């Protein structure tokens, strides 16, 4: 059962071969055994999970089960969860027990899913390696000396190590796709606005988007279908008809199931900067797509090289505004000693925030300050528009864009800790997708040096999540990379 797909788990639960309580206990015991070595979970919700599992068993017995009823999952610790510690990986929120559920959490709870606990993450989702957590770094299940990617590294590591079959994450500049690539699983970030941000503690409001992790595209499709939906409490939530994101996932009708699909290969993604072991795996994956009937065409994203500088103006600017609420007054960490209100604010924030969060708050406050707003923030927003226009021009020539998820495989813990710019460059292929608000998916496509996973990124036009998932599924039907498991 540990390595079963969601379809197999659903069949086992419905046939009464295993109960939801037994299934939850199986994963909870596995977390207890393996989490000390991986540090993937901040909070394990054993009592809550078993109560939810008992309720799921009652629904199954009554014939009321949905696709996710009784299925265990994990939530990234950025989603508010009623009655459960919600820390955002920060000392600032180390004592915060949320009084309400995020919209995503509420939808999955209503679907009957069983929340095993809250996963570790870069503090306030700021990071590419999951080394910035107040609770310590998450370890990559393929090699515990290496990072799993960030900021949703805890969720990715939990699914890769099968501490949970599926998990939620958030993606601001690649924080679902990049850790999925580094841990050998599938992760999808939908179009901006498809998943509600209500109750998802904000980093950069115009970029943050909830996403899904699973071993396969088919598992991600089921989770995303349950997570997505309009929410009037989120002003950026899109009011659209409900979708079944698994609708294009089907057994191949013939040996050319992707006939007619045009895959765009941006010349900027295949220039210098990509490690040779990553290039080898990506090229082999593209050859497999051609065997499945797809054709590849060269496209250009001329402003892609400007995505990193634009992102690291816009995201810190929004973060400096969003994080101003954490002041030690209403909730969160408060300094033990202070002489007046101003010193309480200063000491509480100095003690509560880690180094990377402080760095981004300082940068964001600077670019929004008088005299610099026009020079930096406004220019970055203009670049953002150009990047989005580049994607639209590319999609006039292709249906899906493909390339590496990350320029290298997972690096050693601490290797880039003293070089923020090198750390930021690890997201060079993913950030432009967030700036344009497009959907993106990463699926495993092979292994590089040291037997470390390599991810292939698929990018689609707005609201093409089902196509991305269906495309990845056909690849996974023809290959077995998604079935490989760390020792």
What pLDDT digit, counting tens, does each position of 297-306 carry? 999 999 999 9
Does residue 291 have an active-site annotation? no
Q: In which band, very low, low, confident or very high, does the pLDDT at 419 lie, cut at 50, 70 and 90? A: confident
User: Pairing state of beta strands 440-447 and 453-460?
Assistant: antiparallel
In the predicted structure, residue 253 carries a pLDDT above the cut 80: no
C-alpha to C-alpha distance for 454 and 443, rounded to whole angstroms: 8
What pLDDT digit, counting tens, does each position of 323-355 carry? 999 999 988 999 999 999 999 999 999 999 999
At 455 the three-state DSSP class reads strand
Residue partners of 229: CB distance under 8 A and separation at least 6: 103, 107, 195, 196, 242
In the predicted structure, residue 464 carries a pLDDT above the cut 90: yes
For the stretch 238-260, what's the b/e string if a residue is b when 16 or more beta carbons lie within 10 angstroms of its beta carbon? beeeebebbebbeeeeeeebbee
Among residues 387, 385, 381, 383, the alpha carbon closest in space to that of 301 is found at: 387
Give the 3-state secondary structure percentages of the chain, helix then strand then coil, rounded to 5.
Answer: 40, 15, 45
In the predicted structure, residue 181 carries a pLDDT above the cut 90: yes
Q: Of the residues 20, 133, 151, 426, which is catalytic?
A: 151
Question: What tokens were used for 439?
Answer: 């959907």
How far is residue 134 from each of residues 121, 131, 332, 350, 420, measured CA to CA in Å? 9, 9, 14, 14, 18
Residue partners of 44: CB distance under 8 A and separation at least 6: 28, 31, 32, 35, 116, 117
C-alpha to C-alpha distance for 201 and 208, rounded to whole angstroms: 10
With tokens 């990617």, the residue in question is 149
Residue partners of 281: CB distance under 8 A and separation at least 6: 445, 446, 447, 448, 454, 456
Among residues 156, 193, 245, the alpha carbon closest in space to that of 469 is found at: 245
> Are 186 and 180 spatial neighbours (Cβ–Cβ below 8 Å)?
yes
- Confidence at residue 234, expressed as pLDDT on a 0 to 100 scale: 98
Cα 148 versus chain centre, distance: 12
- Confidence at residue 19, expressed as pLDDT on a 0 to 100 scale: 98
Does residue 76 have an active-site annotation? yes
pTM: 0.97
- Confidence at residue 420, expressed as pLDDT on a 0 to 100 scale: 86
Q: Of the residues 90, 175, 426, 464, which is catalytic?
A: 175
C-alpha to C-alpha distance for 177 and 430, rounded to whole angstroms: 8
User: Could you tell me which residues are beta bridge partners of residue 412?
Assistant: 146
At 459, give phi and psi (nearest 5°): -120, 135
Q: Which residue has the higher pLDDT, 117 or 370?
A: 117
Q: Of the residues 19, 76, 152, 416, which is catalytic?
A: 76
C-alpha to C-alpha distance for 221 and 67, rounded to whole angstroms: 11
How far is residue 485 from each of residues 6, 94, 142, 184, measured CA to CA in Å? 16, 33, 8, 8
C-alpha to C-alpha distance for 227 and 220, rounded to whole angstroms: 10
C-alpha to C-alpha distance for 151 and 131, rounded to whole angstroms: 9
C-alpha to C-alpha distance for 410 and 147, rounded to whole angstroms: 6
> Are 123 and 360 spatial neighbours (Cβ–Cβ below 8 Å)?
no
For the stretch 282-305, what's the b/e string if a residue is b when 16 or more beta carbons lie within 10 angstroms of its beta carbon? beebbebbeebbbebeebebebbe
Among residues 447, 469, 448, the alpha carbon closest in space to that of 458 is found at: 469
Q: In which band, very low, low, confident or very high, does the pLDDT at 409 lie, cut at 50, 70 and 90? A: very high
What pLDDT digit, counting tens, does each position of 231-248 carry? 999 999 999 999 999 999
Does residue 321 have an active-site annotation? no
Q: In which band, very low, low, confident or very high, does the pLDDT at 422 lie, cut at 50, 70 and 90? A: confident
At 195, give phi and psi (nearest 5°): -110, 130
Domain covering 1-487 in this structure, CATH number? 3.90.1300.10
> Are 149 and 143 spatial neighbours (Cβ–Cβ below 8 Å)?
no
Which run of H or E residues covers position 320?
helix 307-322
What pLDDT digit, counting tens, does each position of 16-61 carry? 999 999 999 999 999 999 999 999 999 999 999 999 999 999 999 9
- Confidence at residue 116, expressed as pLDDT on a 0 to 100 scale: 98
């Amino acid at each position: 059962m540990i390595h079963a797909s969601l379809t197999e788990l659903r069949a086992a639960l419905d046939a009464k071969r295993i109960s939801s309580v037994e299934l939850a206990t199986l994963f909870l015991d596995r977390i207890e055994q393996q989490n000390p070595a991986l540090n993937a979970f901040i909070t394990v919700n054993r009592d809550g999970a078993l109560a939810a599992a008992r309720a799921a068993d009652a629904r199954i017995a009554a014939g009321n089960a949905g696709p996710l009823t009784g299925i265990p999952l994990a939530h990234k610790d950025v989603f508010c969860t009623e009655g459960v510690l919600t820390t955002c990986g920060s000392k600032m929120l180390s004592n915060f027990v949320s009084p309400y559920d995020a919209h995503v959490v509420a939808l999955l709870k209503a679907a009957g899913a069983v929340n095993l606990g809250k996963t570790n993450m870069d503090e306030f989702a700021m990071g590419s390696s999951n080394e910035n957590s107040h609770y310590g770094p998450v370890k990559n299940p393929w090699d515990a000396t290496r990072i799993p990617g960030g900021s949703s590294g805890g969720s990715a590591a939990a699914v890769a190590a099968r501490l949970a079959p599926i998990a939620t994450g958030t993606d601001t500049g690649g924080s679902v796709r990049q850790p999925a690539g580094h841990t050998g699983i599938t992760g999808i970030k939908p179009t901006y606005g498809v998943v509600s941000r209500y109750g998802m503690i904000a980093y950069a409001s115009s970029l943050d988007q909830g996403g899904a992790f699973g071993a396969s595209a088919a598992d991600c499709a089921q989770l995303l279908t349950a997570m997505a939906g309009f929410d009037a409490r989120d002003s950026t939530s899109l009011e659209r008809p409900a979708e079944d994101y698994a609708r294009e996932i089907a057994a191949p009708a013939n040996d050319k199931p992707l006939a007619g699909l045009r895959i765009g290969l941006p010349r900027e993604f295949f220039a210098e900067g990509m490690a040779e072991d990553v290039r080898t795996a990506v090229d082999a994956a593209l050859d497999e797509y051609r065997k499945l009937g797809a054709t590849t065409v060269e496209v250009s994203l001329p402003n892609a090289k400007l995505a990193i500088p634009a992102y690291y103006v816009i995201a810190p600017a929004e973060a400096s505004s969003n994080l101003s609420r954490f002041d030690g007054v209403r909730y969160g960490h408060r300094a033990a000693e202070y002489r007046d209100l101003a010193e309480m604010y200063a000491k509480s924030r100095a003690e509560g925030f880690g180094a990377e969060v402080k760095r981004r708050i300082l940068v964001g406050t600077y670019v929004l300050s008088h005299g610099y707003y026009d020079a930096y923030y406004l220019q970055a927003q203009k670049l953002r528009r150009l990047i989005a226009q580049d994607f639209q021009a590319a999609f006039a020539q292709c249906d899906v864009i493909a390339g590496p998820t990350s320029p290298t495989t997972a690096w050693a813990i601490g290797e880039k800790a003293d070089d923020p710019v090198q750390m930021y460059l690890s997201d060079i292929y993913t950030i432009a997708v967030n700036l344009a608000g497009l959907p993106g998916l990463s699926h495993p496509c092979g292994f590089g040096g040291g037997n470390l996973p390599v991810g292939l990124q698929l990018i689609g036009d707005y609201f093409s999540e089902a196509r991305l998932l269906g495309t990845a599924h056909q690849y996974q039907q023809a290959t077995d990379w998604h079935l490989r498991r760390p020792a």
